[in-house]
Amino acid sequence: MKAEDLSLIKRYSIVEYLERKGINPVRRTPSYAMYRSPLRGEVHPSFKVDTEKNLWIDYAEGRGGSIIDLCMRLEGCTLSEAICRLGQTAFLDAAYGHSKEKSDIGTSPVTPWHPSGARRLIEVSDSLPPHLEAYLTDNRCIDLNRAKPFLKCISYEVRGQRYQAIGFANPSGGYELRDNGTFKGAIAPKDITPVFTDKQTEHAIDNTLPVCVFEGFMDFLSFLSMKEEITSVCLVLNSVSNVARAIRYLNDHNLTYIRTFLDNDEAGRRATNDFIRTGFNVEDMSVYYRNFKDLNEYHVYRVREKQIRQGQIQDTSIKAKQVKHKMR
């Protein structure tokens, strides 16, 4: 993307972006607007938009940034997806001279943008094809018998091309997607996924059992494969951008004791600290796999090590290779 195009996107009014989503300020001055944070439920406004600099800050979280950062948080998308989504609207506004603050009476409204590269859901099946099952067992060392109840085969379309992927559902109707290669994506809407909430919730409320919080569903499936029995409520974030939603869910259900199984990177550490600052009793379980990227990589390492001891495979490179994900 050209520098001038990115600059145009960053100038796209945050106030107007929020207004198009039905989010209006509680208080407005010539230089800023105050909101009840759109990133979580709250009574008193702590979300400020500097209308002169076109920047936002959420005082409760201590985070802020540009409209691109806000789009990533609100819509649970990647940097490239946020730029694409905002870019279409910003370029249309520039082309038609459309702005709520500057438009004249009679200006034609801009048609809402529907991205041509968006994934369109075609079919949801309970049965995974052999190549996706093989990926889970051979590459990720997942116990299929335990994992299958949580997984779907998702058929979707992008620009006329059809694909299949492993799907992990959230309660809002969206899916996290992985294929047997390097693809990692989602079908909107993004949301957290609570698991094992029936029989374990009572003990969790009594703080006798922790809520196990995972960054992605592959880590959750690794946990399933590693344990003989799961006795705790589990919560899959599906993205560290969903921390605020997780905090709201935990507070709504009076769940205060958690174990975080997040990635060993800056985003994972920041998310863990968010839980701590909010007042939860947190056990950071990433210290037990500190030399690995995430729980799944640690799980694969343990399985490969066992296979070597049993003579099932040769001792080559035990530690799982990490493949950089691409977006489709």
> Which pairs with CB-CB distance under 8 Å and at least 24 residues apart come from 177-183?
177/119, 178/218, 179/132, 179/135, 180/131, 180/132, 180/134, 180/135, 180/139, 182/323, 182/324, 182/325, 182/326, 183/325, 183/326, 183/327, 183/328
Per residue in 105-145, pLDDT (tens digit) is 233 333 333 444 567 889 999 999 999 999 999 999 999 99
Residue with the bigger pLDDT between 89 and 50: it is 50
Phi, psi of 158 (to 5 degrees): -135, 120
Tokens representing 281?
């009793």
Per-residue DSSP letter, 176: E
Residues 25-81: tens digit of each pLDDT? 999 998 999 998 888 777 788 899 999 999 999 887 778 899 999 988 888 888 888
pTM of the model: 0.64
Nearest CA among 189, 135, 192 for reference residue 164? 135
The whole-number average pLDDT for the span 286-308 is 95
| Statement: residue 153 has pLDDT above 90 | yes
Lowest mean pLDDT segment, chosen from 37-46, 216-225, 268-277, 303-312: 37-46
Reported as a single tens digit per residue, the pLDDT across 197-222 is 775 555 566 666 899 999 999 999 99
The pLDDT assigned to 87 comes to 76
Residue 328 has pLDDT above 70, yes or no: no
Q: What confidence score (pLDDT) does residue 325 get? A: 46
Q: Looking at residue 109, what is its pLDDT?
A: 37
- Please give the mean pLDDT across all residues of the chain: 83
Give the pLDDT score at 100.
Answer: 41
The DSSP annotation for 123-167 comes to: EEESS--HHHHHIIIIIS---HHHHGGGEEEEEEEETTEEEEEEE
Predicted local distance difference test score (pLDDT) of residue 89: 61
